[in-house]
């Protein structure tokens, strides 16, 4: 049990791993959330703070997840057990596995909307917000799209690491990049795009505040797919001689690059079309639908954009499912196929309330009687609640616990041996102790502080 099975799959190359992990990182979070967080928080100033959080906290923590996975050659639960044997720490792995599945359950709902929008004519007379509300409230559209999207995810994961995950990452990530370049080109060449660029790129340090740092850190964290055990699982498929610093570094660079590019795509378009930059996952379907509806070649560009969004969501859904599947494959006698189908089935059942919460079933659309209006905004539905509990709280909690496990229980020195490739020159004399300090102190303390500030701010 404690020994990894000799036939455990591995990535075929560093590129395969980097594309798959970058596919996980690049998702709805980059293309919609990041640009508007930046826009709301002083543009360039936010971007600089985001980069600092990424470099000082998130990237060191990324190495810890990768190292834990490669050391144990197992899913998050198994990787923890490989270090500590049977102990309550296994529950932390269990939390990660559950979080991945819970995030997938609503992520695939939003992804299904994106797929639906690929086939919509955006230049209709109906106002975008009305059209969007009608679309998401129609279970005959939303549920099949959601189910179909999950089924496609199951199809990829069932084929395994090389034939499924890596192969599709190699096809979809270049496509995503080309689409992003095309839509960005159209956006920055619109008349009036300059105002959007100025808004996005000019740092306004007068807007820097404590809360903004919280936002930047949270975004860096979500964007790199940390705290869900994804990187533990993906690290477990890395060969022993792979340099985790280099491989993980590439993932962080790609993720950041694509987030920055998404800002270049969205702001010029929004400003050129006289729209206000606003915030929220549903607005991509409203504001941008208007933008595309009004611009020359808009229907075509709109189709490309929603295709891009759907692809980005797809390459993030694959790892969300894979975490649970790797758990089932490692810890039970199930085949990968059975595991993938069962996990997908569970995600479907879990996600149904979210899918039906955008107007289809009124009882699921407004939970303000249960959670009030303070934390989640006016009339929060099931989807908002699940996103908050799992996508914000559980994720961050999982990451703090994992960093404490790696830094203190497994031991930062042991972990460092794993991070360093065999010959040990990935981290120099000073980088090792720095990483040790980051993982033992800086990371858990900062994240806990952020969680507390965030909760206090939301509740008060």
161 near ligand TRP, rule: CB under 6 A = no
Element (H, E) at 30: none
| Binding residue (CB under 6 A) for ligand TRP from 230, 233, 358, 365 | 230
Answer whether 214's CB lies under 8 Å from 290's CB.
no
Helices of type H across 41-166: 44-53, 59-72, 76-84, 90-118, 128-136, 139-158
219 near ligand TRP, rule: CB under 6 A = no
Cβ proximity to ligand TRP, 230 vs 357, nearer residue: 230
Query: Between 66 and 105, how does the x/- string for binding to ligand TRP read (CB under 6 A)?
Result: -------------------------------------x--
Q: How far is the CB of 316 from ligand TRP (least distance, A)?
A: 4
Considering only the stretches 70-78, 315-323, 351-359, 369-377, report the one whose residues sit in contact with ligand TRP under the rule CB under 6 A.
315-323
157 near ligand TRP, rule: CB under 6 A = no
| Binding residue (CB under 6 A) for ligand TRP from 320, 328, 329, 402 | 320
Q: How far is the CB of 409 from ligand TRP (least distance, A)?
A: 23
Number of residues lying near ligand TRP (CB under 6 A): 15
Question: What six digits make up the tokens of 50?
Answer: 């985001």
238 near ligand TRP, rule: CB under 6 A = no
Q: How far is the CB of 210 from ligand TRP (least distance, A)?
A: 24
Q: Go through the chain and tell me how many residues it has.
A: 460
Cβ proximity to ligand TRP, 53 vs 103, nearer residue: 103
**Cα–Cα distance for residue pair 110/142, rounded to 1 Å:** 9
| Nearest one of 332, 330, 317, 347 to 157, comparing CA atoms | 317
25 near ligand TRP, rule: CB under 6 A = yes
**Cα–Cα distance for residue pair 74/83, rounded to 1 Å:** 11
For residue 286, the SS3 value is: coil
298 near ligand TRP, rule: CB under 6 A = no
Tokens 């692809």 appear where? 311
287 near ligand TRP, rule: CB under 6 A = no
Cα-Cα-Cα-Cα dihedral sign, residues 39, 257, 67, 424:
negative
Question: What six digits make up the tokens of 358?
Answer: 């955008």
| Binding residue (CB under 6 A) for ligand TRP from 105, 223, 256, 403 | 223
Answer whether 188's CB lies under 8 Å from 264's CB.
yes
Question: What six digits make up the tokens of 193?
Answer: 């795009």
Positions touching ligand TRP (CB under 6 A) are 24-25, 27-30, 103, 222-223, 225, 228, 230, 316, 319-320
């Amino acid at each position: 049990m404690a020994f990894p099975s000799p036939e455990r799959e591995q990535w075929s190359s560093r590129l395969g791993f980097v594309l798959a992990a970058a596919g996980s990182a690049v998702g709805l979070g980059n293309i919609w959330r990041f640009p508007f967080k930046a826009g709301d928080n002083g543009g360039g100033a936010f971007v600089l703070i985001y980069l600092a959080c990424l470099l000082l906290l998130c990237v060191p923590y990324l190495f810890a997840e990768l190292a834990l996975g490669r050391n144990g050659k197992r899913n998050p639960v198994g990787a923890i057990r490989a270090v500590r044997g049977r102990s309550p720490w296994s529950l932390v792995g269990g939390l990660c596995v559950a979080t991945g599945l819970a995030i997938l359950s609503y992520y695939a709902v939003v992804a299904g909307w994106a797929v639906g929008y690929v086939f919509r004519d955006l230049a209709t007379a109906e106002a975008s917000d009305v059209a969007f509300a009608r679309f998401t409230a129609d279970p005959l559209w939303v549920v099949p799209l959601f189910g179909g999207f999950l089924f496609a995810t199951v199809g990829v994961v069932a084929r395994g690491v090389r034939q499924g995950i890596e192969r599709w990452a190699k096809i979809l990530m270049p496509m995503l990049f080309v689409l992003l370049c095309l839509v960005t080109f159209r956006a920055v060449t619109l008349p009036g795009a300059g105002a959007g660029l100025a808004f996005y790129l000019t740092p306004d340090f007068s807007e820097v505040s404590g809360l903004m740092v919280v936002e930047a850190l949270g975004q860096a964290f979500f964007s790199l797919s940390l705290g869900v055990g994804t990187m533990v699982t993906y690290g477990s498929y890395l060969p022993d001689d792979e340099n985790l610093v280099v491989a993980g570094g590439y993932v962080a660079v790609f993720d950041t690059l694509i987030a920055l590019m998404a800002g270049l795509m969205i702001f010029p378009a929004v400003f050129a079309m006289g729209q206000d930059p606003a915030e929220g996952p549903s607005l991509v379907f409203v504001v941008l639908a208007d933008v595309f509806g009004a611009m020359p070649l808009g229907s075509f560009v709109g189709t490309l954009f929603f295709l891009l969004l759907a692809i980005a969501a797809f390459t993030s859904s694959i790892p969300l499912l894979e975490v649970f599947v790797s758990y089932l494959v490692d810890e039970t006698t199930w085949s990968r196929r059975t595991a993938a189908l069962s996990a997908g089935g569970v995600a479907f059942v879990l996600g149904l309330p979210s899918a039906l919460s955008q107007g289809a079933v009124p009882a699921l659309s407004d939970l303000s009687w249960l959670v009030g209006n303070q934390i989640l905004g006016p009339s929060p539905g099931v989807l908002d609640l699940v996103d908050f509990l799992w996508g914000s709280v559980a994720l961050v909690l999982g990451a703090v616990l994992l960093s404490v496990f790696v830094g203190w229980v497994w031991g930062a020195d042991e972990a460092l041996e794993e991070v360093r490739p065999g010959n040990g020159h990935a981290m120099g004399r000073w980088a090792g102790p720095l990483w040790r300090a980051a993982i033992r102190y800086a990371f858990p303390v900062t994240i806990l502080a952020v969680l507390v500030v965030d909760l206090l701010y939301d509740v008060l």
